[in-house]
Amino acid sequence: MKNFFLMIYRALYRRLIKYRLVRTKVFIINNKNVVFHNIGDNSLLENIVINGFGSHENEVVELIKNYSWDMKFFYDIGSNVGYYPVIVNSYHKNVSVIAVEPFPSSAEYINTIKNNNKLSFKLIEKAIDSSSGATKNLFFPVSKNSSKLPGSATLINSFKGSGGVFNNLPFDTIKVKTITLDDLMKGSDDSALVKLDCEGNEFNILRSSSVLERNNVSFIIEIMINDLDKNEVFDLMIEHGYNGYLITNAGLIKESRPLTLPKPDRNDRTLWRNHFFTKKAASEVQDFSIKNYGHWI
């Protein structure tokens, strides 16, 4: 009965959001009020309003929220609406946060979130790529069901004509400036955690970067089960001395290849897809997993 009423509640809430009867939401994050606005403009926003702030990629949220290793910088590359910068600002007061988001309306949203809530982080309105200073097409979906603030803008066309899982979606493009990972992190050799979600462009970004040579930079990288370059991304990280761990809500799983786990009700996405790549000792990662997830797999 409880599940039935919860289902009715969520369906009603979605209606209220769809018809703009609910437009803002205040979350209490680590004892601080954070206000999100225009929640009907983005599927991530809608999800966290209906299911709770930590519901989106909750296993990744737990890793970042409880990150106990030294971290002077956090880079959120492909920041969407600034979800992760809010989390890091709320739980890691002495970490410098850099959000990277090239899509103009999403970048504007992040700036508004930052200013309205008096958060402290830097926004870079460029696309991360293999070269700096170029002007490239950024592809984004424009179907009637697409979010006003798209979560899948990319330098690589994964929409109509690509032959991929989103081949049925029409798209548009805008011109954006590019910057490399090395130039983004230039001027600091301090420890860092980099979250990289660039919708299929990860290999191009990483293979030209000297950041992989450093021992004090760890990565969270989204690897989808249907990504054409998933093996190249994973192997590249291993070649540079990283260990790869699939992030799940039951624990971190050490992997020898990119094995993401499918979502039960859909065949084109994955429930667990984010990998933690680090050069930290396996024993440290094991202790972290047991402490924060309850298991080591």
Chain segment 21-78, per-residue pLDDT in tens = 999 999 999 999 999 999 999 999 999 999 999 899 999 999 999 999 999 999 999 9
| DSSP character string of the chain | -HHHHHHHHHHHHHHHHHTTS---EEEEETTEEEEE--GGG-HHHHHHHHH-GGGTTHHHHHHHHT--S--SEEEEES-TTTHHHHHHHHH-TT-EEEEE--SHHHHHHHHHHHHHTT---EEE-SEE-SSSS-EEEEEEE-STTS-SS-S--BSS--STTS-STTTT--EEEEEEEEE-HHHHTTT--S-EEEEE--TT-HHHHHHT-GGGG-SSEEEEEE--TT-TTHHHHHHHHHHTT-EEEEEETTEEEEESS--PEEPTT-SS-EEE-EEEEE-S-HHHHHHHHHHHHS-B-
pLDDT score for 226: 76
pLDDT score for 119: 94
Q: By C-alpha distance, which of 206, 197, 207 is closest to 77? A: 197
Name the band, by pLDDT with cuts 50, 70 and 90, for residue 144. Answer: confident
Q: Is 266's pLDDT higher than 60?
A: no
Chain segment 191-246, per-residue pLDDT in tens = 999 999 998 899 999 998 999 999 999 999 999 877 778 999 999 999 999 999 99
Would you list the domain boundaries of the chain? 53-293
Name the pTM for this structure: 0.94
Token look-up 């926004």 returns 123
CATH code of the domain occupying 53-293: 3.40.50.150
Q: Which of 113-122, 145-154, 185-194, 226-235 has the lowest mean pLDDT?
A: 145-154
Q: Is 169's pLDDT higher than 90?
A: no
Alpha-carbon gap, residue 284 to 277, rounded angstroms: 13
The share of the chain scoring above pLDDT 90, in percent, equals 71
Q: State the average pLDDT over residues 141-169.
A: 83
Name the band, by pLDDT with cuts 50, 70 and 90, for residue 270. Answer: low
More confident residue, 281 or 263: 281
Q: Is 267's pLDDT higher than 70?
A: no
pLDDT score for 264: 65
The share of the chain scoring above pLDDT 70, in percent, equals 97
- Mean pLDDT over all residues of the chain? 92
Which residues are CB-contacts of 187 (< 8 A; sequence separation ≥ 6)? Answer: none
pLDDT score for 1: 62
Name the band, by pLDDT with cuts 50, 70 and 90, for residue 269. Answer: low
293 in Cβ contact with 252 (< 8 Å): yes
127 in Cβ contact with 155 (< 8 Å): yes
More confident residue, 188 or 71: 71
Distance of CA 29 to the CA centre of its chain: 18
